[in-house]
């Protein structure tokens, strides 16, 4: 009788998550669907296997749409840059895993900034993934340091890989991109379009809702090695503040205020 009870208990523990709807991993407009599939699909499939529930990776069409998703909690897991985390703690979300390494951010340009100086960008247009991205905030800091504020234009709402391709087509002066994109370019392209590194690197976290079922939380922790972008550890109980946490908090407050008008 004891053996039967143990078997029943084990079965209940493994299958206690109610699959009323697919488990959704929400990803912002940081990358195209090709890279999203490459980076996140193995992770999704591992969770699906553990849970016995369908798991889908949902990409937002814009950065503003992703903010709406984060504010409303539409989904189960949320991939965010680390500078988002602080502002979302009071929105019912909390980090479960955090990247243990960071992604470098580059400026790739038509003319060499190394050889000719930052002034080559004056009056040009720089492709930037989005107003709420780490890439944009890093770029703004760099422009200020180099006295280029209000001397360049921005073109927003591109994925990192789309921005790179558009710049390479010769339509824009420069683009701000992740190292994971830049490093995949052939050496011949890198030589023709030189890049410089921005100062701070960008890490990431996966957030879950505060009331997430323990079974799903355990599956996420187990599957984290399947994420094919950066490396991931269990998030510490107390996260260090990102240099751009306060900036994003103000951006988010302003976005919410504008939506309510």
4 found inside a domain? no
- Do 165 and 215 lie in a common domain? no
**For 130, how many CA atoms within 13 A lie in the half-sphere containing its CB?**
22
- Do 230 and 119 lie in a common domain? no
- Do 122 and 251 lie in a common domain? no
- Region 214-237: mean pLDDT is 95
- Do 252 and 215 lie in a common domain? yes
Q: How many domains, the chain? A: 2
Return the percentage of the chain with pLDDT > 90, whole number: 62
- Do 189 and 215 lie in a common domain? no
Helix (H) or strand (E) segment spanning residue 220: helix 214-223
Burial class of 170 by CB neighbour count within 10 A (0 to 12, 13 to 18, 19+): exposed
11 found inside a domain? no
**Residue 42: which pLDDT band, with cuts at 50, 70 and 90?**
very high
85 found inside a domain? yes
**Residue 16: which pLDDT band, with cuts at 50, 70 and 90?**
low
pLDDT of 9 reads 36
Residue 68: give its domain's CATH number.
3.40.190.10
Q: pTM for the whole thing?
A: 0.88
Spatial distance between the Cα atoms of 186 and 46, rounded to a whole number of angstroms:
32
Cross-sheet strand order for the sheet of 195-197: 153-155, 125-127, 174-178, 105-109, 195-197
- Region 43-71: mean pLDDT is 96
Last residue of a domain, one of 197, 213, 234: 197
Spatial distance between the Cα atoms of 59 and 8, rounded to a whole number of angstroms:
38
Per the listing, tokens 């976005």 go with 255
- Beta strand extents in 129-227 (DSSP E only): 153-155, 174-178, 195-197, 204-209
The answer, yes or no, to whether residue 14 has pLDDT greater than 60, is no
> For residue range 181-215, what is the model confidence (pLDDT) as tens digits?
888 889 998 888 888 999 877 789 999 999 999 99
Helix (H) or strand (E) segment spanning residue 240: none
- Do 153 and 179 lie in a common domain? yes
- Do 177 and 67 lie in a common domain? no
- Do 90 and 212 lie in a common domain? yes
72 found inside a domain? yes
The answer, yes or no, to whether residue 246 has pLDDT greater than 90, is yes
- Do 171 and 90 lie in a common domain? no
Spatial distance between the Cα atoms of 35 and 31, rounded to a whole number of angstroms:
6
227 found inside a domain? yes
- Do 49 and 123 lie in a common domain? no
5 found inside a domain? no
> For residue range 70-110, what is the model confidence (pLDDT) as tens digits?
999 999 999 999 999 999 998 999 999 999 988 889 999 99
**Residue 5: which pLDDT band, with cuts at 50, 70 and 90?**
very low
- Do 38 and 90 lie in a common domain? yes
8 found inside a domain? no
Residue-number span of the structural domain to which 234 is assigned: 21-102+203-259
- Do 91 and 113 lie in a common domain? no
**Residue 159: which pLDDT band, with cuts at 50, 70 and 90?**
confident
9 found inside a domain? no
> For residue range 119-129, what is the model confidence (pLDDT) as tens digits?
999 999 999 98
């Amino acid at each position: 009788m004891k053996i039967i009870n143990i078997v029943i208990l084990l079965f209940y523990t493994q299958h206690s998550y109610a699959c009323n709807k697919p488990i959704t991993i929400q990803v912002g407009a940081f990358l195209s669907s090709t890279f999203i599939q490459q980076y996140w699909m193995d992770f999704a499939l591992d969770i699906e296997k553990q849970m016995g529930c369908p798991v889908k990776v949902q990409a937002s069409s814009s950065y503003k749409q992703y903010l709406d998703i984060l504010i409303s909690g539409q989904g189960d897991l949320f991939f965010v840059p680390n500078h988002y985390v602080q502002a979302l703690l009071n929105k019912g979300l909390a980090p479960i895993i955090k990247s243990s390494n960071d992604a470098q951010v580059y400026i790739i340009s038509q003319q060499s900034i190394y050889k000719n100086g930052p002034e080559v960008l004056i009056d040009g247009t720089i492709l930037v993934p989005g107003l709420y991205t780490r890439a944009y905030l890093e770029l703004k800091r760099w422009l200020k340091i180099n006295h280029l504020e209000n001397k360049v234009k921005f073109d927003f709402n591109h994925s990192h890989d789309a921005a790179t391709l558009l710049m390479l087509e010769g339509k824009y002066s420069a683009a701000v991109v992740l190292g994971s994109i830049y490093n995949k370019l052939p050496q011949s392209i890198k030589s023709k379009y030189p890049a410089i590194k921005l100062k701070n690197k960008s890490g990431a976290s996966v957030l879950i809702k505060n009331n997430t079922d323990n079974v799903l939380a355990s599956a996420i922790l187990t599957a984290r090695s399947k994420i094919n972008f950066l490396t991931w550890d269990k998030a510490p109980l107390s996260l260090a503040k990102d240099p751009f946490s306060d900036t994003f908090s103000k951006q988010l407050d302003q976005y919410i205020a504008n939506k309510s008008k």
